[in-house]
Amino acid sequence: VIDARLSGYVSTISNKMNLVASHRKLVDRIEACLSKVAPNSQPPPIQLLGKSVEDQKNIADHIASRYAMRAFLLPIDFLPQAFQELNDFIRLWSREALLHQHILFIEASALEEYEKSKIALIQRSLEHIQGVVIISTFYQFTHMDRTIEMISVERPTREEQEDLWKTELGDV
């Protein structure tokens, strides 16, 4: 159960599709990155680059499953715009993430370089939110106190797609 004050911002990701082999390797890579984090330290934000937000959400959901966590989606347009409201969100989310083992997936794939105010909001969020944060965007964040782990998510190959369809659809 998530704090009711967050329910207007985030929703659960329930994207239980099987992963193709190349995406399983990315989940393994993210898991290796997270496993290197020292106790009582913050993991780096994970930035997923690629055209398919659905594939990225699926990867985030599989990361959450590996750690017995739940993944939540925060669309960029739902990120609080006012400074105090953003700080309240960061505080509330950080508490929820630590108490209940949640992962935040910020969906900002349509973010453009000219959207300076949104970039500033995201950058503040990435620097201050505690817990695992995954962001989907092509924007290259600079001048941050935290290092971002950037991972390219390629579309599945034709063979991977065929295997996935066979697995999902069976002998139809």
Query: Pairing mode, if any, of strands 70-75 and 149-152?
Result: unpaired
Q: Summarize pLDDT for 136-167 with one digit per residue, the tens.
A: 998 888 778 888 999 999 988 888 888 777 77
pLDDT tens for 33-46 read 999 998 889 999 99
Tell me how far apart the alpha carbons of residues 80 and 10 are, in angstroms, rounded to a whole number. Answer: 11
Interval 49-89: pLDDT, tens: 999 999 999 999 999 999 999 999 999 999 999 999 999 99
Report DSSP state, residue 23.
Answer: H
Mean pLDDT of 25-30: 96
Burial class (CB within 10 angstroms; exposed 0-12, middle 13-18, buried 19+) of 106: buried
pTM to 2 decimal places: 0.90
Q: Which residue has the higher pLDDT, 18 or 63?
A: 63
DSSP string, 81-128: -SHHHHHHHHHHHHHHHHHHTEEEEEE-TT--TT-HHHHHHHHHHHHH
Contact in structure between 136 and 55 (CB atoms under 8 Å)? no
User: Residue 105's beta-bridge partner residues?
Assistant: 73, 134
Q: Which pLDDT belongs to residue 40?
A: 86
